[in-house]
Amino acid sequence: MPTTPEPIPTRPLPPLLAPGLALVALALLAGLWTARPATRAGIEPRPLEHRLDVNAAPQHELELLPGVGPGIAWRIIDHRARVGQFHHVGQLEDVPLIGPVRRRDIEPWVDLPPAPR
């Protein structure tokens, strides 16, 4: 006749362990959420000769800008094709998903030709 295994003895968790673990997890998530982009973390912008012309840069170069991945790079290129060239950095805010904060992070890395007169 088969025997049933003996139950494993358990003991309750200390009462403050679960809430403590929850607080640690929230603190870690908050740290990830508020992580600062590189330009605000003290990294100097590229020298002028290495800045990107967003009117001519291909997608893989646009992805080098802080906070710009493949999706936003594609949106910049699409905006360029539909609307035309950017004449000042503020026009980047017309691109979907680029707001004032992301534009401010990108600005030191962007080089635009002088506006036409």
pLDDT by residue (tens digit) across 47-106? 445 789 999 999 988 988 988 889 999 999 999 999 999 998 999 999 999 999 999 999
Is pTM beyond 0.75 here?
no
- Phi, psi at 79, each rounded to 5°: -60, -40
Tell me, what amino acid is at 18? A
